[in-house]
């Protein structure tokens, strides 16, 4: 598997930031200005990272 510190840099390549919750969890939050499209793009990025 992939730990938090391996996952977060890969996620950052998609311009998505998260906070580490070691060893295997990441905290992602939404805020004002984050659209539904942004959320779907995040899900897509996570799926792509998980495949590789």
Asked whether the whole model's pTM tops 0.85, one would answer yes
pLDDT score for 28: 95
Measured from the Cβ of residue 36, the count of other Cβ atoms closer than 10 Å reads 8
Instruction: Round to whole Å and give the CA distance between 6 and 26.
Output: 11
Q: Are 16 and 42 in contact (CB under 8 A)?
A: yes
Backbone Cα Rg of the chain: 11
pLDDT score for 1: 84
Give the residue extent of every domain in the chain: 4-51
Instruction: Round to whole Å and give the CA distance between 45 and 16.
Output: 9
pLDDT score for 52: 86
pLDDT digits (tens, 9 = 90+) for 1-46: 899 999 999 999 999 999 999 999 999 999 999 999 999 999 999 9
pLDDT score for 46: 97
């Amino acid at each position: 598997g992939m730990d938090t510190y391996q996952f977060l840099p890969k996620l950052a390549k998609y311009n998505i930031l998260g906070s580490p919750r070691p060893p295997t969890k990441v905290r992602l939050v939404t805020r004002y200005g984050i659209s539904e499209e942004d959320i779907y793009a995040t899900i897509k990025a996570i799926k792509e990272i998980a495949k590789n």
